[in-house]
Amino acid sequence: MNTYGYVRVSSKDQCEDRQLISLQQFPVQERNIYVDKMSGKDFERPQYKKLMRKVKAGDLIVVKSIDRLGRNYDEILNQWRVITKDKDVDIVVIDMPLLDTRTENKTLTKTFISDLVLQILSYVAQTERENTKQRQMEGIAAAKQRGVRFGRPRKKVPDNFDEVKDRYLNKEITSREAAKQLQIAQNTFLRWTNGL
């Protein structure tokens, strides 16, 4: 039996140290820990896929908490089934001792409680993800109402734009030449010309 760990943080600037420490204390050997730095919305993650190819029947996967595995309710339940039933691999969720499928802990009641807890926690993980998205959308809408502009600041239209635009419209110069004269990108010139 081999023991593997899985760590996930949502972005490259987030720190995975807390999860790594928990897994190493379990203990999971550092070389057997797979780390993804991306969203938990689905299981299309390179290191997770690599881990799934590596594990064999009788192995053990350890995660710090269920939301590190994923945040999509249906997909967490599906992956749990794939891991524990299809691959016959055990899972331990460190922060939730009830989510421990190792053989010595398997009784009908224990399996029932584990499945129930898993469904509740998966639901909570997805609900939190949806609430975070909703809060983000509301925050953006509120900022826009206050006049906050997102993205790069708009370029100032040069004073000689109308003159260059007229020359372009009269086919005296190409859009590329017009953009060069104005020291802007060709796409920007065309967008301004079309009033976008």
- Measure the CA–CA gap between 30 and 165, rounded to whole angstroms: 62
Residues 6+ apart with CB under 8 A from 98: 113, 114, 117
57, 88 Cβ separation under 8 angstroms: yes
Active site residues: 10
**Three state DSSP letters for 94-105:** CCCCCCECCHHH
Q: How far apart are the first and last CA of the chain?
A: 62
DSSP-derived letter for residue 154 is P
- Measure the CA–CA gap between 18 and 25, rounded to whole angstroms: 11
